């Protein structure tokens, strides 16, 4: 591919973009595909069959996936044989004098973790991207450190960081079969630091 066919500012932009992403194959391919005007495959779901009914309305699709994904856990739990001896799990555990301890952290550690975030990490419902957190690490580290330490001291994790965007990811087989999707939960990036 010749970059010289593009206008000079574009050549410089893409050359710099490729240079700055050396070693990051995902971003390199995204840039190359952008140059080739190659769009990623459409991942929207047009139709599924749930409980024998064909569903095409976007709201109904969301509700059907929600119903399906939220029923998996209880259904699997019902398949676990119930043991008469409710203390049978104790033979797997041994006594120990060790204690779990979670210590507060410093601003330097938070800043270091933020600066190592993968820029292409999916953005959660809070719409704060990993790229933003990484590039503004020196500005937000103090505030995030205070929130993290407050959470450690009080034992309370912020409710907003518990919310996730659940995306049905196609595995294989018939695309209209709801069983051929698995749920991916995208939580706020800051909750992963």
- Delimit the domains of the chain by residue range: 3-35, 48-71+103-192
More confident residue, 50 or 163: 163
Please state the pTM of the whole predicted model: 0.61
Q: Output the furthest CA–CA distance in the chain (Å, rounded).
A: 76
Helix (H, G, I), strand (E, B) or coil at 165: strand
Evaluate if residue 91 carries a pLDDT over 80: no
pLDDT on residue 4: 44
What's the residue count for the chain? Answer: 193
pLDDT on residue 86: 60
Distance CA(73)–CA(68), nearest Å, equals: 10
- Report how far apart the first and last C-alpha atoms of the chain are (Å, whole number): 39
Distance CA(39)–CA(79), nearest Å, equals: 43
Evaluate if residue 47 carries a pLDDT over 70: yes
133 Cβ neighbours under 8 A, 6+ residues apart: 114, 117, 140, 189, 190, 193
Other beta carbons within 10 Å of 88: 9
- pLDDT band of residue 1 (cuts 50, 70, 90) is very low
- pLDDT band of residue 77 (cuts 50, 70, 90) is confident
Residue 12 tokens, joined: 């410089």
Evaluate if residue 76 carries a pLDDT over 50: yes
Evaluate if residue 93 carries a pLDDT over 80: no
pLDDT on residue 40: 52
Distance CA(105)–CA(154), nearest Å, equals: 14
pLDDT in tens, 7-44: 455 677 778 888 888 888 888 888 777 776 655 555 67
Q: Which residue has the tokens 């973790």?
A: 113
pLDDT in tens, 103-149: 999 999 999 999 999 888 888 898 899 989 999 999 999 999 999 99
pLDDT on residue 84: 55
Contacts of 68-72 with C-beta under 8 Å, sequence gap 24+, read: 68/178, 68/179, 69/166, 69/168, 69/183
């Amino acid at each position: 591919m010749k970059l010289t066919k593009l206008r000079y500012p574009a050549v410089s932009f893409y050359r710099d973009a490729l240079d700055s992403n050396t070693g990051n194959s995902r971003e390199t391919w995204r840039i190359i595909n952008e140059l080739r005007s190659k769009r990623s495959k459409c991942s929207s779901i047009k139709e599924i069959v749930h409980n024998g009914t064909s569903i095409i309305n976007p709201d109904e699709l969301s509700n059907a996936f929600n119903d399906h994904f939220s029923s998996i856990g209880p259904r699997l739990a019902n398949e676990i044989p119930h043991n008469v001896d409710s203390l049978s799990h104790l033979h797997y555990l041994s006594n120990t004098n060790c204690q779990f301890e979670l210590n507060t952290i410093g601003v330097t550690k938070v800043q270091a973790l933020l600066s190592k975030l993968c820029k292409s990490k999916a953005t959660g419902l809070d719409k704060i991207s990993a790229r933003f957190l990484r590039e503004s690490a020196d500005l937000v580290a103090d505030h995030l450190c205070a929130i993290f330490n407050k959470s450690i001291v009080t034992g309370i994790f912020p409710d907003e960081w518990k919310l996730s965007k659940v995306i049905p990811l196609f595995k294989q087989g018939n695309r209209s079969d709801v069983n051929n999707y698995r749920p991916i939960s995208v939580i706020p990036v800051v909750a992963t630091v």
